[in-house]
Amino acid sequence: MEDNITSSGLSTDIRMINEMIEKESAFTDLIKMEMKKVLIGQDHMAERLLIALLADGHILLEGVPGLAKTLAITTLAKTIEAKFSRLQFTPDLLPADLTGTVIYNAKTGEFSNKKGPVFANFVLADEINRAPAKVQSALLEAMQERQVTIGESTYKLPVPFLVLATQNPVEQEGTYPLPEAQVDRFLLKVVIDYPKKEEEKLIIRQNIGAIAPQEVQAVTNPEEINRARKTVKQVYLDEKIEQYIVDIVFATRNPEDYKLEELKELIHFGASPRASISLAIAAKSYAFIKRRGYVIPEDVRAVCMDVLRHRIGLTYEAEAENITSEDIVNKIINTVEVP
């Protein structure tokens, strides 16, 4: 009898969350429509940018040049009435160029703090692997702490604060790869693929003037996004789904416990607890986009690759056999029991 009451109360709660999501998720469709005005194809990338936005997490986009990574990020920023700044990372960049510095005013004889471009709602870190480690560390610290210290003063970063970084995997000359421990700060790492043939034809037409360009409009604001983030946290996550998330993450650490003994020699280190948190909040955000007040196993599976691909360290044996972290994640997803 008690179980029936609990179950009845839970279904009422979920129904209320569903109604709230139906009302508050409308702006996600508007953002997608605005992005499609300039972005042809790349639906996966656009959806992942929305997940990062709703989950209050940072995103790393990796792909060869010309796949509209920068265009997608700048377009997303245009759809929101918020401050946007772009940083082109180069080998001669200094941490002060990013965070700001103390400057001396000769007229007054006083020092004052000048805030850097990181003080924006959306920060595009273009080709993040081109800047040296100390600049990367300054950005990653701001991402984690949500604050920046200039001189003796500490300033909170604006809300929402989202870092959208890109990196080019092709050229390794003159680049500084992000350390594994630091890349863990990104909620998602999305690998961008080439467009399909039909999409590429449309891209050509759009860029040679055969299709008139459309103006992207602002369709939401930071207040609406902050409200949506609070609603995302209320999306129901059943204990069975929690267990499923923990099993997936633990399979990256102790594969032999999940009948995946062959992965033991391929994984140098598994995903951290930050991966479990990221998987849960990304799955909730995905459910929100799909207008659902509860998480199902398919939501976890949908975001699993982008959450885990940068959180698994490979051994020399794996690299020698050309086995990637994607191969390992796929094997885990296909083996761990679905609730």
Query: Residues with Cβ < 8 Å from 134, sequence gap 6 or more?
Result: 94, 95
Q: What is the pLDDT of residue 4?
A: 36
Q: What is the pLDDT of residue 1?
A: 32
260, 335 in Cβ contact below 8 A? yes
Sequence length of the chain is 339
Q: What is the pLDDT of residue 329?
A: 94
Segment (H or E) for 314: strand 313-314
CA distance 81 to 224: 10
DSSP summary character for residue 171: -
**Partners of 59 in the β-ladder:** 164, 188
- The CA-based diameter of the chain, rounded to the nearest angstrom, is 79
Q: What is the pLDDT of residue 77?
A: 87
Q: What is the pLDDT of residue 171?
A: 63
CA distance 59 to 73: 10
Q: What is the pLDDT of residue 2?
A: 34
Residues 247-303: tens digit of each pLDDT: 999 999 999 999 989 999 999 999 999 999 999 999 999 999 999 999 999 999 999
Instruction: List every span in the chain annotated with CATH 3.40.50.300.
Output: 41-208
Query: Residues with Cβ < 8 Å from 171, sequence gap 6 or more?
Result: none
Q: What is the CATH number of domain 41-208?
A: 3.40.50.300
Question: What pTM does this model have?
Answer: 0.88
Q: Is 287 strand, coil or helix? A: helix
Q: What is the pLDDT of residue 38?
A: 86
71, 42 in Cβ contact below 8 A? no
Q: Is 283 strand, coil or helix? A: helix
328 closest CA partner among 262, 232, 279, 275: 262
Q: How many helices (H) and strands (E) does the chain have?
A: 14, 11
Scan for tokens 């920068």, then name that residue. Answer: 70
Instruction: List every span in the chain annotated with CATH 1.10.8.80.
Output: 235-335
CA distance 123 to 30: 22
132, 92 in Cβ contact below 8 A? no
Q: Is 203 strand, coil or helix? A: helix
DSSP summary character for residue 235: S
Scan for tokens 């761990």, then name that residue. Answer: 336
Query: What are the C-alpha distances in Å from 182 to residues 157, 167, 249, 311?
Result: 20, 15, 18, 10
Residue type, 318: A
Q: Give DSSP secondary structure letters for 52-104.
A: HHHHT--EEEE--TTSSHHHHHHHHHHTBSS-EEEEE--TT--HHHHHEEEEE
Q: Provide Rg for the chain, Cα atoms.
A: 22
Print burial letters for 182-219: b (CB count within 10 Å at least 16), e (below 16). Answer: bbbbbbbbbbbeebeeeeeeebeebeeeeeeeeebeeb
DSSP summary character for residue 313: E
- Per residue of the chain (339 residues), what is the pLDDT tens digit? 334 334 555 676 888 888 888 888 888 999 999 998 888 888 888 899 999 999 999 999 988 888 888 888 888 888 988 888 988 898 888 988 998 888 877 778 788 888 889 999 989 988 888 888 888 888 888 888 898 888 788 889 988 899 999 888 776 666 777 877 778 889 999 998 888 888 888 888 888 876 666 788 889 988 899 999 999 999 999 999 999 999 999 999 999 999 989 999 999 999 999 999 999 999 999 999 999 999 999 999 999 999 999 999 998 999 899 999 999 999 999 999 988
Fold for domain 235-335?
Answer: Helicase, Ruva Protein; domain 3 (1.10.8)
